[in-house]
Amino acid sequence: MSYPGASRDGDPSLLVGWAGWDHREQAQALATLIVAREQEDGWAAARLLPLVAGSAHEMARSASCAARRPG
């Protein structure tokens, strides 16, 4: 999976994550990235919005998968 536009300023490389992550792990990686970009790189809320939306999407997919698991 890739996260276009999520690399640090001045870094033109594409930020990628491991394709073996499940939805919970993807959400956690995005949450960690959001905090880093906000606190370390000074990104404003509007710039973080795509990452927040991606994290929310992955959390919803994780919850959906968990709800379908036999319990």
Angle between helices 45-68 and 23-39 (to 10 degrees): 160
Range of the domain at 35: 21-71
Domain contains 53: yes
Between the alpha carbon of residue 18 and those of residues 8, 25, 57, 67, the distances in Å are: 19, 10, 17, 24
Residue 49: which pLDDT band, with cuts at 50, 70 and 90?
A: very high
Domain contains 25: yes
Domain contains 30: yes
pTM of the complete model: 0.86
Domain contains 1: no
Structurally, how many domains does the chain consist of?
A: 1
Model confidence at 71: pLDDT above 70: no
Domain contains 43: yes
Q: What's the confidence (pLDDT) of residue 46?
A: 97
Model confidence at 33: pLDDT above 90: yes
